[in-house]
Structure 1
Amino acid sequence: MAQEEIWNADVARGYDTPGTGMFAPEVLEPAVDRLAGLADGGPALEFAVGTGRVAVPLARRGVPVTGVELSPPMIERLRAKADEAAVPVVVGDMATARAPGTFSLVYLVYNTISNLLTQAGQVACFRNAARHLRPGGRFVVELWVPELRKLPPGQQAVVGRSEPGYLLVDTYDVLRQHVVSHHFRFGDGAEARTFRSPHRYIWPAELDLMAQLAGFRLESRHADWQGAEFTAESPSHVSVYRLDGEGHDLPDSAQPADEAAVRNARR
């Protein structure tokens, strides 16, 4: 299923959960604080801006924010919070779309890079970030660590989360580094609502190599937005990459040939 089909009007209508989940203040505010500091007084570009969960509060902090987003329904939800003047948005794929101007910060939050389903597409995303950055600018990626150690021998599925009214089951294809997240939401009755999203998981070391190919170096890696130490037990990380030299305006020939496989979304 193409990402345009996944992130449709129905999903966009139910995406925001004000005050809870990824919208909870204890989740959102540290991310906005850290990104505002990393922008260092310059403009920021958010790949896969979605409904503006991060972009809108970051812009209210005084950071000029531009977004790139593939899904028109998600942009429509964003427009209920901020107009084009407050958060301009370029409609397109985060691996190939170009936003006007240059930026001191490009960022990808909440595992979004994993929804580029090929390694070539993920490398193209790093290269696209480099194109948009000023020399010395930063690219920030928030990403989960693959939970393969939880897989029982011979099994392909693991329960990611289990709580009242919600169950997350991830099914793995370790040969292709693919995982499909199955989200089940249910009440007291027999019926449940399901939502599935495909991803290509990335180990931190592979992510660092992608960064090097685009001219970045790893500046820092922490387990969360507050700066906790990243360890072998950390379920996710926030990695900050710094662009070396004078930037990398790579030719179009450096892009993956199969652009249809290069799609953005979010976990």
Structure 2
Amino acid sequence: MRQEEIWNAEVAQSYDTPGAGMFAPEVLEPTLDRLAELADGGRALEFAIGTGRVAVPLARRGVPVTGIEMSQPMIDQLRTKADDATIPVVVGDMATARAPGTFQLVYLVYNTISNLLRQAEQVACFRNAARHLVPGGRFVVELWVPELRKLPPGQQAVVRQSEAGYIGLHTYDVLRQHVLSHHFWFDDGSTARVFRSPHRYIWPAELDLMAQLAGFELEARHADWHGAEFTAESRSHVSVYRLPPATSPM
């Protein structure tokens, strides 16, 4: 199952849910507040920009945003909201593609680094972020914490979320650190809509080591975009990594 096959035209056309889910103001506004603060008046680069859920409103706040995205259908959906002059997008893999210029901030939201299914690709993603940043620039990663404590002995599946009209569950391959996310939407009838996507989960300590290999230091880690304390019970985290600032000549 290749990423290009997953993020196809059908998914792109149904991805946006204005005002609800991950597009809800209570989810999106704190994200925008924090990213605008970290951009600090400079340019921002979004890896896996998708349909522009974050990039479009961030650009409206005056932050110049460029994107990297491998799915042309997702870019096409983004183009219904912002043209190339407003938000330039490079077509390619976030682990290897290069956007022109340098940036104050690179960010990767909503667990997307886990779409890279090999550890080497995830390390390459950090190194690619470092290549794009000015000295002292920051790389922000939003990621969920693996929920293996919920996995009963001898079983491979965990229900992630269950509510009216929707069930989400994860099936784990703990040997390869892979998880397959299953999403089921249904109504009162006999049919359901299904979406599945593979991921490689990453522990926070492993993520920090990836950052170190790329020359970053962990500057901050919180449980959410509001800045809540990250604890052993946190289900996700927002981690801010920073490159060393430029050294002044003697």
* Alignment match, 1:233: 233
Encode CA deviations 1:89-108: one digit per residue, 9 max, x unaligned. Answer: 00000000000000000000
Q: 1:188 maps to which residue?
A: 188
TM-superposed CA distance for 1:245, in Å, is 5.1
The one-letter code sitting in structure 2 at the alignment partner of 1:202 is: I
Counterpart-to-counterpart distance in 2, 1:126 and 1:246:
19
* 1:125-160 deviations in Å (ceiling 9; x for gaps): 000000000000000000000000000111000000
C-alpha spacing 1:246/1:116, structure 2 compared with 1 (3 Å): farther
Aligned equivalent of 2:3? 3
The aligned residue for residue 55 of structure 2 is 55
Distance in 2, Cα, partners of 1:188 & 1:161: 19
Aligned-partner residue type, residue 104 of structure 1: Q
Report what 1:200 is aligned to: 200
User: Partner of 2:96 in structure 1?
Assistant: 96
Instruction: Report what 1:85 is aligned to.
Output: 85
Partner of 1:158: 158
**2 CA distance for matches of 1:160 and 1:121?**
26
CA distance in 1, matches of 2:230, 2:81: 34
In 1, distance between residues paired with 2:33 and 2:9? 30
Distance 2:85 2:92 in 1: 19
Q: Which amino acid aligns with 1:142?
A: E
Normalised to the residue count of structure 2, the TM-score between the two structures is 0.98
- What is the Cα deviation at residue 244 of structure 1? 1.7
Distance 2:169 2:133 in 1: 37
Letter aligned with residue 130 of structure 1: A
Q: Which has the higher contact order (CA 8 A, sep 6+)?
A: 1
Secondary structure of the corresponding residue to residue 219 of structure 1: strand
The aligned amino acid for 1:164 is: A
Aligned residues: 247
Query: In the alignment, which residue of structure 2 is the partner of 1:176?
Result: 176
User: What's 1:149 paired with?
Assistant: 149
Measure, in 2, the Cα distance between the counterparts of 1:245 and 1:106. Answer: 16
When the two chains are superposed, the root-mean-square deviation of aligned CA atoms in Å is 0.9
| AA at the equivalent of 2:27 | V
> In structure 1, what is the Cα distance between the partners aligned to 2:149 and 2:39?
36
TM-score normalised per structure 1: 0.92
Provide the C-alpha distance between the structure 1 equivalents of 2:125 and 2:69, rounded to a whole number of angstroms: 13
Structure 1 distance, partners of 2:246, 2:215, is 10
1:3-42 to 2 correspondences below 5 Å = 3-42=3-42
Residues 46-88 of structure 1, C-alpha deviations (whole Å, 9 max, x = no match): 0000000000000000000000000000000000000001100
**Structure 1: distance between partners of 2:29 and 2:162:** 25
Amino acid at match of 1:151: L
Unpaired segments ≥5 residues, structure 2: none
Matched-pair identity in %: 82
Helix, strand or coil for the counterpart of 2:238?
strand
Q: For 2:181 and 2:128, how far apart are their aligned partners in 1?
A: 26
Q: Letter of the 1:161 partner, please give it.
A: Q
> What SS class does the counterpart of residue 153 from structure 1 fall into?
coil
- Cα distance in 2 for partners of 1:89, 1:105 equals 16
Give the match for residue 116 of structure 1: 116
